[in-house]
Amino acid sequence: MSNDSDSAAAAPNAKRLLWAGFMAILAAGVGFSVRGGILGQWAEDFGFTMTELGTITGGGLTGFGVVIIVTSLFADAIGYGKLMTGAFVLHFISAVITLAAPAAFEAGGKDAAFQCLFWGMFIFAVGNGVCEAVVNPLTATLFPKSKTHYLNILHAGWPAGLVIGGLASAFMAAKVDTDGTILKAAVDWKIQMSLFLVPVIMYGMMLLGQRFPKSEAAAAGVSTGQMLASVVTPLFFILLVLHALVGYVELGTDSWISKITGSIMNDPQKGLMLFVYTSSLMFALRFVAGPIVHRISPLGLLFVSSILGAIGLTLLGTATSVMMCVLAATVYACGKTFLWPTMLAVGSERFPKGGAVAIGLMGGVGMLSAGLIGGPAIGYKQDYYASQDLRDNAEPTYERYSVETPEGFLFLPKIKGLDGAKVGVLGDQGKELAAVGEALAADGETDENYNKLAAWWKTAKPYASEDKAPVSAATLAGGRMALLLTAAVPTIMAVLYLLLILGFKATGGYRAVHIDDAEKLSGGIEGPMEA
């Protein structure tokens, strides 16, 4: 199949453009993965709750989604090359703003640090969104006969980035003894966060001097208005709803999965390594999507994937051992692997006149769902059930470790979640806090946030031995419930996919739709063959 697909590629530099897109998505994966590994440092350094951390991670995905939609409307008019140059610049700007968070914290406290991290992640996501708006329709155009196969290969860059970022985070994380003694300090999160710039530089170099085609629809003479008109159908609306659910269950959950599984296994490093394992599995599986869809069709693959995703999340939420976590995570990884790229392929195959607009709308809605709903909602569920558990079982402890101001999410009730900085101090028995105090004293400096946390620890330390167990248990309870409730999302997806399969079967079965005059793309691409 691969050879046939290669011979049918629509441009002589198709492979080079494909792998440049792969590197761009890999950069997004590295940034996403490293960020997941440093959420704990952010909570401890700046005192964020799980809901606030979820808002930061969600803000990145929100920017990603908005930009995919907007950019896809004008991608062909502006030009893919110019857009990728803009993405390259945005990635560097995002790094500068994110790395300014500690200075902002010293000058303006927690809120200032929050703004730096939120907007840094947002701009990073804007760059990612521009890349996504280009590389998806570009790949569909370059390989019109094998869209599912090559879109899955393109998006193998995502789990590859997660693996690289996850391994880097594991290597750079702190080593802590069972009694809370810090054996090796974590590498500063600013260094870890800068790693995503390496693949950014690589994709920039790969795209130098290359020429890009227009989307399949634009090359066939379809206007932007006609692209938009072609997707105003009940079927496309259903696909949008489904992709919103895909974004929630895949990207929203990925924002938290290593932290939650680390809590279940009582070892953050094991949670991170489990995340690396599942991402490696996804990377390998995405290269074999083509043969699979030839056997069961894209919708059949999506249906099976949803069922596996629901089973995997349920097993993760009830796992009580490392082996059960590994088994559950394996099932979950197999379930989520094909969802995102195969959905984009279905949208492109069924709505070829939609061009970049159709794929952009689907990708954007998926990212918006993950950012506005998935990340914050899963964070809120953790806060809600963790605080409820701690309040019910150890109310004095809850009063010591809850935040001062209640926070809510959408229409859900406001709650006082657990303060991440306080929980972090309890975890290492104040050793890192003491080290910070010594460093400030040696420099003759004072810090209002440190003073506030140190004063709190002075009153909470006498109760630390009795507080540690219920706080750990509450954190675990919150993570478990978040996963169990999230399992409902792929269950709903499976039902919708089954209805689509039955609907297509009643009309002759699922098949790809082609634009009659799209076989010969106008304005052919000039460029070198891949070396």
Q: How far apart are CA 72 and CA 480, in angstroms?
A: 38
Say what the pLDDT of residue 516 is: 61
Length of the chain equals 531
The torsion angles phi and psi of 8, rounded to 5 degrees, stand at -95, 5
Mean pLDDT within 339-357 = 89
Backbone angles phi, psi at 434, to 5 degrees: -65, -40
> Of 169, 268, 329, which Cα lies nearest the Cα of 476?
268
For the stretch 454-476, pLDDT in tens is 889 989 899 888 988 898 889 88
For the stretch 110-134, pLDDT in tens is 889 889 998 888 888 889 889 989 8
pTM of structure: 0.78
Q: What is the mean pLDDT of residues 56-64?
A: 68
State the CATH architecture for 14-394+473-513: Up-down Bundle (1.20)
**What is the per-residue pLDDT for 490?**
95
**Amino acid identity, residue 143?**
F
Q: How far apart are CA 344 and CA 394, in angstroms?
A: 48
pLDDT higher than 80, residue 52: no
From the DSSP assignment, how many helices (H) and strands (E) are in the chain? Answer: 27, 4
Q: What is the mean pLDDT of the chain?
A: 82
β-pairing verdict for 182-184 and 412-415: unpaired
Q: What is the pLDDT of residues 139-197, one digit of tens each?
A: 888 888 788 888 999 999 998 998 898 788 778 766 656 555 555 666 778 888 888 88
Residue type, 469: A
The token pair at 465 is 């031995």
> Most distant CA pair in the chain: distance in Å?
78
Cβ(193)–Cβ(99) below 8 Å: yes
The domain segmentation of the chain, as residue ranges, is 14-394+473-513
In this structure, the strands spanning 182-184 and 175-176 are: antiparallel
pLDDT of residue 3: 46
User: Are 285 and 337 contacting, i.e. CB atoms less than 8 angstroms apart?
Assistant: yes
| CA nearest neighbour of 162 among 257, 73, 302 | 257
335 falls in which pLDDT band (50, 70, 90)?
A: very high
Q: What is the pLDDT of residues 234-253, one digit of tens each?
A: 999 999 999 999 988 887 77
Which has the closest alpha carbon to 313: 221, 395, 399, 381?
Answer: 381
| pLDDT tens digits for range 367-422 | 888 878 877 888 888 888 888 899 999 889 989 888 788 888 878 888 888 888 78
List pLDDT tens digits, range 280-301: 999 999 988 777 877 888 999 9
What stretch of H or E contains 481?
Answer: helix 464-486
Give 407's strand partners. Answer: 415
Write out the H or E segment, with its range, that includes residue 176. Answer: strand 175-176
Structure tokens at 56: 């930061």
State the Cα torsion 466-467-468-471 to the nearest 10°: 140
Between CA 232 and CA 391 the distance in angstroms is 49
Q: How far apart are alpha carbons 478 and 275 in whole angstroms?
A: 19
Provide the angle, in degrees to the nearest 10, between the axes of the packed helices 39-46 and 420-427. 100
